[in-house]
Amino acid sequence: MADRRDKKEGDPVPYYDEHGLNLLRAYQIVCYMVGFDSDKFKDLAAETKLPKSRQDSCERDYSKASDSWGMVLEPHLRAPDQPKTKIDVIYGEAKGKLETIAQAARSIMLLEPVAQLAADRLAWPVPFTLEMQSCGYLNAAWVSSTHKLTLCYELAADFAELYRSYGAAPADRRKRKSK
């Protein structure tokens, strides 16, 4: 969706960016999903037009990525007898149109399951905080000096706008149910 927006707005492709190209990352995620369970994600592969020749290598790609992450994370897995790390959750103030995003995040308790899973599965070296806040820019960042991971409301708003405008069925083209 970000690739569609960039093309429509004429934004140049930042080949030098710290992140991979949007379209390449999107196809790689689809490939990992197909590699994890080809039957479950066959419709997604078809919808995204992931070539059959590429689908055939996705199981190997997923296996390599899963094994690699497994090796990296194994020393940090929390043993059943280890205490859980305290992970605080904060929803900071938001103003203007971002308040809707903040209210939605609070009401569905967006960060709590993330904190719970992180505390259940991993042995963290120190307690830390997950926070959503207005940042003035689109981003998420870890600040080691404060032990805080911040997700900006602006990033969540951008994801919502991408979906509304560039998803498979943008809002203006979706069929509305008649009353």
Report domain extents, the chain: 2-76, 87-166
Structure confidence at residue 162 (pLDDT): 75
Q: Say if residues 88 and 124 touch (Cβ distance below 8 Å).
A: no
Structure confidence at residue 179 (pLDDT): 44
Structure confidence at residue 95 (pLDDT): 86
What is the Cα–Cα distance from 124 to 108, expressed in whole angstroms?
Answer: 25
What is the Cα–Cα distance from 84 to 62, expressed in whole angstroms?
Answer: 29
User: What's the burial of 23, exposed, middle or buried (CB within 10 Å: 0-12/13-18/19+)?
Assistant: middle
Global pTM reads 0.72
Confidence of residue 65 (pLDDT cuts 50, 70, 90): very high
What is the identity of the amino acid at 39?
D
What is the Cα–Cα distance from 134 to 150, expressed in whole angstroms?
Answer: 9
What is the Cα–Cα distance from 74 to 122, expressed in whole angstroms?
Answer: 9
